[in-house]
Amino acid sequence: MTAIAAVILGAGMGTRMKSRKPKVLHQIAGRAMVSHLLATVNELNAEKNIVVVAPGMDDVRAEVDPAEIAIQDKALGTGHAVAAALPSLQGFEGDVLVLYGDTPLITRETLENMIETRRRDTNTAVVVLGFEPEDPMEYGRLITNEKGDLEAIVEFADADAVQKAVGLCNSGVMAIDGAKIQSLIDEIGNDNAKGEYYLTDIVEIARKKDLPCKVVKGDEEELLGVNNRIQLAEAEAIAQKRWRKDAMEKGATLIDPASVFFSHDTKLGQDVIIEPNVFFGPGVTIGNDVRIKANSHLEGTTIGDTAQIGPFARLRPGAKIADDVKIGNFVEVKKADLEKGAKVSHLSYIGDARIGAEANIGAGTITCNYDGYDKFKTDIGAGAFVGSNTALVAPVSIADGAIIGAGSTVTKNVEQDALMVERADEVQKSGWAARFRAMKAKLKNK
């Protein structure tokens, strides 16, 4: 099988994003657009991945590591950007896939279809991915002949009225014969409305050499180009629709799919039930038979089987929730191990902690993990019972089976099976309330 190299263009300034960071780093479902593309080309086992960036885009370099980087000194157009990648493709004779960093939703199936089309007739120099959007906007137009083969791509800025009326548009994605790419790119000029080196010109150049060019049609939803924040939100919506469908197909129940937001890497077990208004940040893995109740926010968290989370739970990075654990409403957990069957049912903060198996943490318990400078750990043993409104001042440990009386502030370690209670003595004055009310009533009636 012939090899594939992917060239992802990301050197454009993305001015329409009105952002201080490069466009391709803007995220969809918690992952940079450029990384979505890299993940997709990785599924094709591309032999080379080259990302074209502008000088100084070190954050893009870090994001795409270990992909190869090519620097385009000045953003002189998409053809000029591909030229910057050519030195890395010296001697490569397979198929070169050119992808735009701002078109992140393209699927593996579509790319495979393009590669197949390119290989069907070895003469085919270029395969372009076209689509027929409802509103063709300012996309380049694909000019085809009576056989449906491609003759030229005309940029919107250069198109006449007849060409603008063409509904078949350029998505920007191309499969190019690696043996011919150099000679095609070499001939691109910049005599056009924008004075740029358009990659799209290689179609006409190939046709002049009598080399066939083809169109593969794709679906509008996967070819949306993100040029501004409105399109970024549209791309997010499309991605979320995909993830929701995928989650349901794999055996999760989403009571109101439209209100559940996934990250690109959310992993769900079987028979997980997700109630409305749940948000998954990156790094969440959930076991089987788990229920995530309404209005919960989860990130960087693993959850075992048959756990119950929420409603209104907040699970932050490093929360490890074992099987059968119950996390109730208004509970925040960060960097903490909750062992099998532990319960934190109401209004608590558990951070930098271990909660042993079957321990019960009462309402309003707070692990005081931070002294303004450093973080400290709270360790709670199996079967311990922490009464409501307890402050656990870390570092502190409560051994297995101990009981902490409600309202305590715990600063010293508590031994196994002990009762620890920290509270002022209670004072009770018989009849005091009745006397107080009588006195007040008398004063009022005067």
12 binds ligand UD1 (CB under 6 A): yes
Stretch that binds ligand UD1, among 193-201, 230-238, 269-277, 382-390 (CB under 6 A): 193-201
Q: Is 130 in the site for ligand UD1 (CB under 6 A)?
A: no
Angle at alpha carbon of residue 433, lines to 430 and 434, rounded to 5°: 90
225: contact with ligand UD1 by CB under 6 A: yes
Residue 199 touches ligand UD1, criterion: CB under 6 A: yes
CB 262 within 8 A of CB 281: no
**Interface mask toward ligand UD1 for 13-32; x: CB under 6 A:** ----------x---------
- In 187-277, which ranges are E strands? 213-217, 253-254, 260-261, 267-268, 273-274
Segment near ligand UD1 (CB under 6 A); pick from 71-79, 308-316, 410-418, 424-432: 71-79
Whole-number Å distance between alpha carbons of 48 and 392 = 53
136 to 175: interface string for ligand UD1, x by CB under 6 A: ---xx------------x-x-------------xxxx---
The binding track of 86-125 with respect to ligand UD1, each residue x by CB under 6 A or -, is: --------------xxxx----------------------
Residues touching ligand UD1: how many (CB under 6 A)?
A: 30
User: Closest approach of Cβ 4 to Mg ion, in Å?
Assistant: 23
Enumerate the active-site residues.
Answer: 346
Say whether residue 216 binds ligand UD1 (CB under 6 A).
no
Is 227 a residue that touches ligand UD1 (CB under 6 A)?
A: yes
Contacting residue, 3, 39, 71, 76, with ligand UD1 by CB under 6 A: 76
Which of 40-48, 68-76, 118-126, 432-440 is the region at the interface with ligand UD1 (rule: CB under 6 A)?
A: 68-76
Question: Would you count residue 11 as binding ligand UD1 (CB under 6 A)?
Answer: yes
- 246: Cα separation from own chain's centroid: 15
Question: Can you tell me which residue has the tokens 């086992």?
Answer: 45
From 87-95, 194-202, 277-285, 377-385, span contacting ligand UD1 (CB under 6 A): 194-202
Closest CA to 33 of 129, 111, 100: 100
Least Cβ distance, residue 172 to ligand UD1 (angstroms): 4
Query: What is the CB neighbour count within 10 angstroms for residue 160?
Result: 8
77 binds ligand UD1 (CB under 6 A): yes
- Residues 100, 23 contacting (CB under 8 angstroms): no
SS3 for 371-433 is CCCCECCEEECCCCEECCCCEEECCEEECCCCEECCCCEECCCECCCCEECCCCCCCCCCCHH
Closest-approach residue to ligand UD1 (CB): 140
Closest CA to 223 of 154, 303, 291, 132: 132
Closest CA relative to residue 226, chosen from 23, 10, 22: 23
**Alpha-carbon span 311 to 293, nearest angstrom:** 4
Query: Which DSSP helix (H) or strand (E) runs through 155?
Result: none
Q: Give the DSSP H or E segment for 331.
A: strand 326-338
Widest CA span in the chain = 111
Cβ-based nearer residue to ligand UD1, 173 or 307: 173
Binding site for Mg ion (CB under 5 A): 102, 225, 227
Chain contacts with ligand UD1 (rule: CB under 6 A): 9-12, 23, 52, 72, 75-78, 80-81, 100-103, 139-140, 153, 155, 169-172, 198-200, 225, 227
